[in-house]
Structure 1
Amino acid sequence: MTGLFSSQRNDAEIINIAGQQRMLSQRIALISAHPSFCDSSASTQQTLASTLDTFISNHTRLTQLTSLPKQVEQLYFSPGNLDTEVKQYIQQAQSRLTQVNCMQPTSPFTLDQVSNLLAKLNEVVYQFELHAKRRVDKVANIELFLWLGTLVLLLLEAKFIFSPMRKAIESTIASLKQSHLEAKTAMDEAKAASRAKSDFLSSMSHELRTPMNGLFGMIELALDTPEKSESYLQKAKAAGRQLLSLINDILDFSKIEAGKIKVEKSPVDLLQLMDDVVTIQRVYCVNKGLAFNYYKSATLPHIVEGDSTRIAQILHNLLSNAIKFTESGAVSLAVNETHIDDKPAIVFKVTDTGIGIADEKLSTIFQKFEQADQSTTRLYGGTGLGLSIAKRLAELMEGDISVSSTLGKGSEFTLSLPLFKANLPPMEVNEVASLRCAVVDDLQTSREYLQHVLTAMTIQPTTFASADAFLDGHPEQFDLLIVDLAMPNKSGVDLLREMAQLNISPFPRVMLISAELELLDCEQSIRRLIWKTHAKPINRRELE
């Protein structure tokens, strides 16, 4: 490119020299034929000599060009070439200068010779101009290609450099915005979690101190006033049970958070489990002056596969909450078999007519340390862990808990669990026959009826008319104990408390029966000793 532009810069000079040759050839011919040429006093000869020198110099310059155009080269050096004619023309002009006899101003050149030379020199000028024009066109084409190439390069640069760069910048900006938003959200969540934990610690401190103060206060009163110690100790025991319940909530939640809670899959007597839960929760409803409604579908399977402890824990939690937040009206439990996503499921619906939950709070009540608001905590107490634990347990059992509520009118919590029907392993006849069974009931008719039913099942029971009689008869020898709840002097619960202190191992299976199971009110440690509960009258199918 540099050489091309350098050659192009010389084109104008070369064309000018070639054009000058035409003029010089005409001038030489004119001077040679001028009338004053032979006048020694005139400067015509000097002018011719000077013109001839310039003509020779220009000819030499043109014919010795390193980049002589091919057409010009052919004009100068092909047969009958211009170079020979020019040199001959120069010789003729030089001979004119050296002519001795200059009396006659006769021109050494013929008209045809001068015209022919002029035509060829014109052709040389034309070829130089044509060559220069081609160079200009070539440069123009190169400029065009360079412009197009630059344009293509810019387009490629825009596509492969600037466009990705723009996208990268936009992506970075979007990412930064998203990161900023996430950071802000995380900060808000962290602040909310911090507030929730602070509120939790505050309420937990209150919740733990209240039963603890009651526990120690009642113990001190029992020590100071022995004549009322039994009443005070009963209240201290109730405070201890409340404290234990709080601690159990915290321990359960910590186990769930650590992933250490495993749900079991074993045969569960669903109907018995629900009856046990309802029996206890109905008592709490009655004590608070609330109606308790219980409905179970007739199509419910008797035995299902699941974790009876965790199912009961969730139901107790939902029902306890419903009772706690309901001041008047009713609490209901409805259990149905249904299908969710074409899969069989059991749905438990706990409905109350309590304070309800605001719409904006529904999404947070299953979060840890959360209640509808702090005024709820202050008014009703609680740790804010119960529903979170229930939700996580339901999810561990491949189920879920949902809620719908109207503020001031009540709430409905729905527990859905997958339904896996199962069968309890049948007890061998000889195993049933070998059961050592005791029946403890103060009513003779009840003892006789149960003895008749059990005998028909090849079980030979030993009957007792009171708790004391049973305790005197070596209670550790029995595998199954059927005991009435409401007996005079010592109730069925009192009997179990005394048996628990005997450290009997293995502890017999206990079936608690009564016409009024709603009267069942005992601590959790005693409830765990109860295998089944049945309302009187009891039939053989229930015993089986």
Structure 2
Amino acid sequence: MKRQTVMIVDDNPTNIELLSESLGDDYEMVFATSGAEALELIRADKPDLILLDVMMPGMDGYQLCAVLKGDAGTRDIPIIFVTAMCQEEDEIRGLELGAIDYVTKPISPHIVRARVKNHLELKRYRDLLESLSSAADRAKKEFLRAISHELRTPLTPILGMTDLVLTSEEDDDKRKYLSLVQKAALKLLGIIEDLIETSRLEGEGASAESLPFTLRPFLDAVLGELETVAAGKGLTLRLTLAAGLPEAIESDQGLLRRLLTMVVGNALKFTREGEVALELEHRATDAEPRLLFSVLDTGIGIADQDLERVFLDFTQSDGSVTRPFPGLGLGLGIARRITELMGGRIWAEPRPGGGSIFRIELPLKVPAGLGVAS
């Protein structure tokens, strides 16, 4: 097994020698006598752990720690501060910057050796868990992709033959039974399509287009496709557009349709009475203008602890086996992936008075030469 690498950063050669002798020959050692030198070495070849002196000329230990923790490529390197400062506020400052431990001077070789050993063991286990998690995630995606396509292959002729028989069968009882078969098969096909969509959005090469289209007719069409579901449950389906919205936008129309259908459909599913509303407004920010879609319902609501969890795969707010709203819990996970692919974000809030609000914020791009809605 490759030996782990420990970097010692200290402007005092005597301290470097003492720390190095404390660790013996158990690790590969790298040395730096300044924060700038250490940063250059770390970016060239990341160590497994850093023993970092606090007081150094130029870039001190606190500054180096802040730089490393602010970089995604180095933020996971464990840092142990080595310092003669033993005031509580000094220790708190280092820990708040992201250090995992402190060793105080005068240096005790036994303490240095024990703490380095313990933290490197923890890092080894953490790296192993991350590796296993990544492997499991890849296996899950491959399994979903394979099983989804294998399930869809026999389902297509089942639906085709059922439809064919329904068009020719005259016996009412047989037609009723065949209709139940057809509905069940279509439901299964929807689940399979969700699995395939999840795998596709996680795969390499997934991207969003940016083409112009008029906004109001598009939104009317999206809700029009869901009107039958709303009417069947006796629900009001409402669309509200704020003043000042553009007449047209540039976006991926297919992805946006899928996204809104997912979120509004989810609201309809969990609402027994009242309304589901889609509201749209323009939100100006310092970075870029944004569109804010809000889907409001009068449904069962979401517990505070589940507001983020509902966007995970195979998750519903009510996770019990006997829950009254069956499903795999993939819809909002797909919605999250689409939103991120389009450069936006999605979140949930409780609705005052009961129900839920799902908000989707997306970049707003307006085609050149087109006006603004009144």
* TM-score, reference length from structure 1: 0.41
Selected match of 2:347 from 402, 406, 409:
402
Task: Verify the 8 A CA contact 2:308 2:347 in the aligned structure 1.
Answer: no
The answer to whether 1:302 aligns with 2:247 is yes
Q: Residues of 1 paired with 2:220 and 2:300: CA distance?
A: 27
Shift of 1:418: 0.3
The answer to whether 1:324 aligns with 2:269 is yes
Deviation digits for residues 25-80 of structure 1 (CA, Å, limit 9, x no counterpart):
xxxxxxxxxxxxxxxxxxxxxxxxxxxxxxxxxxxxxxxxxxxxxxxxxxxxxxxx
**Correspondence for 1:275:** 220
Superposed, 1:218-367 pairs within 5 Å as: 225-226=170-171, 238-367=183-312
**Correspondence for 1:511:** none
Distance 1:404 1:215, change over 3 A: farther
Q: Residues of 1 paired with 2:307 and 2:173: CA distance?
A: 47
Task: Verify the 8 A CA contact 1:269 1:303 in the aligned structure 2.
Answer: yes
AA matched with 2:238: N
Superposed, 1:15-34 pairs within 5 Å as: none
AA matched with 1:358: A
Secondary structure, counterpart of 1:412 in structure 2:
strand
AA matched with 1:379: P
Higher RCO, 1 or 2 (CA under 8 Å, sep at least 6)? 2
AA matched with 2:225: I
The answer to whether 1:161 aligns with 2:21 is yes
Secondary structure, counterpart of 2:278 in structure 1:
strand
Q: What are structure 1's unaligned runs of at least 5 residues?
A: 1-153, 199-208, 426-544
Distance 1:211 1:402, change over 3 A: farther
The answer to whether 1:384 aligns with 2:323 is no
Q: Residues of 2 paired with 1:418 and 1:377: CA distance?
A: 40
Secondary structure, counterpart of 2:256 in structure 1:
helix
Task: Verify the 8 A CA contact 1:222 1:228 in the aligned structure 2.
Answer: no
Q: Residues of 1 paired with 2:210 and 2:346: CA distance?
A: 19
Percent pairwise identity:
29
Q: Residues of 1 paired with 2:15 and 2:267: CA distance?
A: 70
**Correspondence for 2:151:** none
Task: Verify the 8 A CA contact 1:263 1:396 in the aligned structure 2.
Answer: yes
Q: Residues of 2 paired with 1:400 and 1:383: CA distance?
A: 22
**Correspondence for 1:174:** 119
Shift of 1:191: 10
Distance 1:240 1:269, change over 3 A: farther
Q: What are structure 2's unaligned runs of at least 5 residues?
A: 1-13, 23-107, 144-153
Number of residue pairs aligned between Structure 1 and Structure 2 = 271
Distance 1:407 1:253, change over 3 A: farther
AA matched with 2:265: S
Task: Verify the 8 A CA contact 2:163 2:182 in the aligned structure 1.
Answer: no
Superposed, 1:503-514 pairs within 5 Å as: none
Secondary structure, counterpart of 1:295 in structure 2:
strand
Shift of 1:367: 1.6
Shift of 1:223: 7.0
Deviation digits for residues 397-442 of structure 1 (CA, Å, limit 9, x no counterpart):
11111111379932111011000101589xxxxxxxxxxxxxxxxx
Task: Verify the 8 A CA contact 2:351 2:357 in the aligned structure 1.
Answer: no
Task: Verify the 8 A CA contact 1:265 1:306 in the aligned structure 2.
Answer: yes
Shift of 1:298: 2.4
Shift of 1:281: 2.2
Superposed, 1:16-95 pairs within 5 Å as: none
Q: Residues of 1 paired with 2:155 and 2:305: CA distance?
A: 31
Shift of 1:285: 1.3
Q: Residues of 1 paired with 2:21 and 2:206: CA distance?
A: 55
AA matched with 1:275: D
Larger Cα-atom Rg: 1
Secondary structure, counterpart of 2:299 in structure 1:
coil
Distance 1:183 1:155, change over 3 A: closer
Deviation digits for residues 338-365 of structure 1 (CA, Å, limit 9, x no counterpart):
1244420100000111112222222322
Shift of 1:262: 2.3
Q: Residues of 2 paired with 1:230 and 1:193: CA distance?
A: 44
Q: Residues of 1 paired with 2:119 and 2:351: CA distance?
A: 40
Bigger Cα displacement from structure 2, 210-219 vs 390-399: 210-219
Deviation digits for residues 450-486 of structure 1 (CA, Å, limit 9, x no counterpart):
xxxxxxxxxxxxxxxxxxxxxxxxxxxxxxxxxxxxx
* TM-score, reference length from structure 2: 0.58
AA matched with 2:335: A
Secondary structure, counterpart of 2:293 in structure 1:
strand
Deviation digits for residues 368-387 of structure 1 (CA, Å, limit 9, x no counterpart):
22222433775222222211
Secondary structure, counterpart of 1:365 in structure 2:
helix
Distance 1:314 1:164, change over 3 A: farther
Deviation digits for residues 88-111 of structure 1 (CA, Å, limit 9, x no counterpart):
xxxxxxxxxxxxxxxxxxxxxxxx
Q: What RMSD, in angstroms, separates the aligned Cα atoms of the two structures? A: 4.8
Distance 1:287 1:155, change over 3 A: closer
Q: Residues of 2 paired with 1:381 and 1:238: CA distance?
A: 15
Secondary structure, counterpart of 2:366 in structure 1:
coil
**Correspondence for 2:72:** none
Q: Residues of 2 paired with 1:212 and 1:360: CA distance?
A: 43
AA matched with 1:405: P
Q: Residues of 2 paired with 1:243 and 1:363: CA distance?
A: 27
Shift of 1:332: 1.2
Secondary structure, counterpart of 1:264 in structure 2:
coil
Shift of 1:252: 1.2
